[in-house]
Amino acid sequence: MIKVYNGDFKKDDIEMRKVYSTVLSRLMEKDNRIVALEADLMSSMTMDAVQKEKPDKVINCGIMEANMIGVAGGMSIAGKYPFVHTFTAFASRRCFDQLFMSAAYQKNNIKVIASDAGVTAVHNGGTHMSFEDMGIMRGLANTVVMEMTDGVMFENVLEQIALKDGFYWIRTMRKNAATVYEKGSIFEIGKGNVLKDGNDITLIANGIMVCQALEAAKKLEKEGKSVAVIDMFTLNPIDKELIIKYADKTGKIITCENHSIHNGLGSAVAEVMAEKGNARLKRIGIKERYGQVGTLDFLMEEYELTSEHIYSAALELLK
């Protein structure tokens, strides 16, 4: 059961990376089978302190992401439940065959934590920005592909999946997310969260775009529009029923993602609607571009990812 935070916009008081290291450390104390692998980004993810306490549970593989995925596969075969972390760009582009072969295809239990998602890589710039990963990962059969919205969700999801079998791709930012959920919320993987119900138009978002969608909804409501907002944090398997329901109910959908509009959330929703459902669609996301350096505010403006962009797209669709 989720509880939505209804106050004014604020940042979580805990960074996403801190959520990861804290929760993982706690889980490792409970179960000896949980291990974490890093590829020389341990300090970037605040896992260095955990390694000091638990040197036999946190292994720094060095700058060898492909080998790290293989090692995780082997550890899974020998009974461990490995988490592996690196930046989204390296985890996806660099390791796809390893994720296919050493993980998903042979059903090894691997949780990939892909951090610095999309434009949140900020000053690492275009080389470190992945706008493709969710599209790549949702092409793998029988895997779970998710994007974390805030710290409350991240904590609960990590707790839920730690000892689950299978392949999980978890995309996240590293710093403080905007607060969307109240503490104690429990998330159902594979289901979309209806954050706000409405009749005129539906905004389907994930990751950092959820709070932008909520902001846009507020503005539209001031003008008398009735807006539904859905957090589609699980991209695969996607919640088809919910998409169809809101396509039928509102007839207009806008998808909002910090990712290319190709193959990510926008495409996944379009696929569902094309087969069943009757609505018009607009996609907010990265359009045929690569990343660049900049502050998050600048990048969100530059790549047309702000609540203003969602608001304008909605007005156009509501015409």
Partner 1 sequence: MKKLAREIRINTLKSLNHLGFGHYGGSLSVVEVLAVLYGGVMNINPENPCWEKRDYFVLSKGHAGPALYSTLALKGFFPLEEIYTLNQNGTNLPSHPDRLKTKGIDVTTGSLGQGISIATGIAMALHLDKKPNRVFSIIGDGEMNEGQCWEAFQFIAHHNLNNMTIFLDYNKQQLDGALEEIINPFSFEEKMKAFGFDTVTIKGDDIKGIYDAVKSPRTENEKPLFIILDTIKGQGVEYIEKMKNSHHMRLNDDLKKEMEKEVEKLERGRE
Q: Known catalytic residues?
A: 65
Q: What token pair was written down for 257?
A: 């993602």
Any residues with CB less than 8 A from the CB of 257 and at least 6 apart, and which?
134, 205, 206, 207, 209, 264, 265, 266, 283, 284, 285
Among 4, 14, 105, 124, binds partner 1 (CB under 8 A): 105
Closest to partner 1 by CB, 62 vs 184, is 62
Sheet holding 234-236, edge to edge: 58-60, 34-38, 81-87, 110-115, 167-171, 144-147, 234-236
Closest to partner 1 by CB, 95 vs 265, is 95
Over the window 22 to 41, marking each residue x when it contacts partner 1 by CB under 8 A and - when it does not, the resulting string is -------------x------
**Residues near partner 1 (CB under 8 A), total:** 29
Closest to partner 1 by CB, 66 vs 296, is 66
Which has the closest alpha carbon to 147: 122, 126, 124, 168? 168
Task: From 7-15, 94-102, 224-232, 308-316, give the range in contact with partner 1 by CB under 8 A.
Answer: 94-102
Residue 77 as a binder of partner 1 (CB under 8 A): the answer is yes
What angle is formed at CA 84 by the lines to CA 78 and CA 89, rounded to 5 degrees? Answer: 140
CA 232 – CA 266 distance, rounded (Å): 11
User: Cα 257 to chain center, whole Å?
Assistant: 9
Over the window 43 to 62, marking each residue x when it contacts partner 1 by CB under 8 A and - when it does not, the resulting string is -------------x--x-xx
| Nearest approach, Cβ of residue 85 and partner 1 (Å) | 16
| Nearest approach, Cβ of residue 97 and partner 1 (Å) | 6
Q: What token pair was written down for 115?
A: 């951090």
Closest to partner 1 by CB, 74 vs 190, is 74
Among 106, 142, 199, 295, binds partner 1 (CB under 8 A): 106
Among 47, 73, 147, 213, binds partner 1 (CB under 8 A): 73
Among 8, 52, 78, 288, binds partner 1 (CB under 8 A): 78
Within 13 Å of residue 37, how many CA atoms lie on the same side as its CB?
A: 27
For residue 187, give the 3-state DSSP assignment.
coil
Any residues with CB less than 8 A from the CB of 43 and at least 6 apart, and which?
none
**Residues near partner 1 (CB under 8 A):** 35, 56, 59, 61-62, 64, 66-67, 69-80, 82, 97-98, 100-102, 105-107
